[in-house]
Amino acid sequence: MTKKRVVLAGECMVEFASQGEDSYRLGYAGDVYNTAVYLSRSCAQECDVQFMTVVGKDAVSAKLLALMESEKIGCEFLWKDASATLGAYCIQLDPQGERQFIYWRGQSAARRLLQHIGDPTVLAANPIDMLYFSGITLAILTPEDRAQFFALAALWRNAGARIVFDPNYRPRLWPDADTARAAFQQAYELSEIALPGIDDHRMLYNQDSAREVIDFLQGCGVAEVVVKDGPNGATLAVDGDIIQVPAVAVSQVVDTTAAGDSFNGAYLSARLRGLDARTAAEQAAKLASDVVQHRGAIVAM
């Protein structure tokens, strides 16, 4: 059996999670990377999962590559740049006990992705089955690089790849909301599957219900829409049906980081393995409910 080739494009950062006074635990995370991990864990037999990014040529980057290998994530679309390294963030509890994220990602290697890709037609000659990226993938690129990235996505799409997009809107990564909306419009118009959180659309489009998000995205030509709404579950629009998939209730929510990322990984894994959308969303809700009961983005295997 030939494996389906899935490329997930984005950034993985070094995570410093505060363990109390002056002590931090080092980890690796980033929205698209988290999705790649959860996707690979459930379909490495059937799919060849590739993470598209740029890392440094240093020990911290090497450790990420070792982790990727242990998660069976390939690096055919990963470049090493000697003059840059991974972005980083620190998770610190503020005096009220709320988690605070502090980032150093402005100069990260991943921002140089298009410099390493070069001519998109060369890469696009290498056929794939699915390309996944998020609004964060788009936000860290310059406008020129974003246009080149869309050109690559369009070439892959014309060659038969399914394009999948999660907007993951982070206002502080964008110069203004109009720029984000323009980029998301292009992404949605290329996408066969969209996995937005309802919060993304509330902030950017003033849409308040799953139904409004679905109508908007169907207007952009998205065939399969999955609107995520935290503990309220997800609403799917696929093949003319609207399907509600409740969240799996948990007794104690520990950390909701990567609920959406893990949901996306499990959902796409199930779809790539030929399962129907409802079953895929049920499996995704189950995994996400496990993830919210653990600290950190990536739960130990």
Half-sphere exposure of 23 (CA within 13 A, CB side): 3
Among 292, 297, 298, 299, binds ligand ADP (CB under 6 A): 292
Check binding of 131 to ligand ADP (CB under 6 A): no
CA–CA gap between residue 33 and residue 12 (Å, rounded): 6
Measured from the CB atom, the residue of 58 and 290 that comes closer to ligand ADP is 290
Q: What are phi and psi of 83, to 5 degrees?
A: -100, 15
> What's the token pair of residue 64?
């990420």
Q: Which of 68, 234, 266, 268 binds ligand ADP (CB under 6 A)?
A: 234
User: What is the C-alpha to C-alpha distance for residues 22 and 10, in angstroms, rounded to an integer?
Assistant: 30
- Rounded Cα distance between 145 and 115, Å, is 8
Query: Quick check: is 261 catalytic?
Result: yes
x/- track of binding to ligand ADP for residues 140-179 (CB under 6 A): ----------------------------------------
Smaller CB separation from ligand ADP, 57 or 211: 211
Determine, following the binding rule CB under 6 A, whether residue 27 of this chain makes contact with ligand ADP: no
CB of 4 to ligand ADP, least distance (A): 23
Residue 254 contacts ligand ADP per CB under 6 A: no
Pick between residue 223 and residue 248 the one whose CB is nearest to ligand ADP: 248
Choice from 229, 255, 275, 294 touching ligand ADP (CB under 6 A)? 229
Between 78 and 217, CB nearer to ligand ADP? 217
E strand map for 182-238: 193-194, 224-228, 234-238
Residues 189-228 close enough to bind ligand ADP by CB under 6 A: 197, 199, 228
CB 265 within 8 A of CB 253: no
Type of residue found at 79: W
Residue 78 sits in the site that holds ligand ADP (CB under 6 A): no
Centre a 10 Å sphere on the Cβ of residue 188 and count the other Cβ atoms it contains. 20
Least Cα distance to 55 among 67, 39, 44 occurs for: 67
Six-digit token string for 87: 């972005």
Binding stretches for ligand ADP (CB under 6 A)? 197, 199, 228-231, 233-234, 247-248, 250, 253, 256, 259-260, 263, 285, 288-289, 292
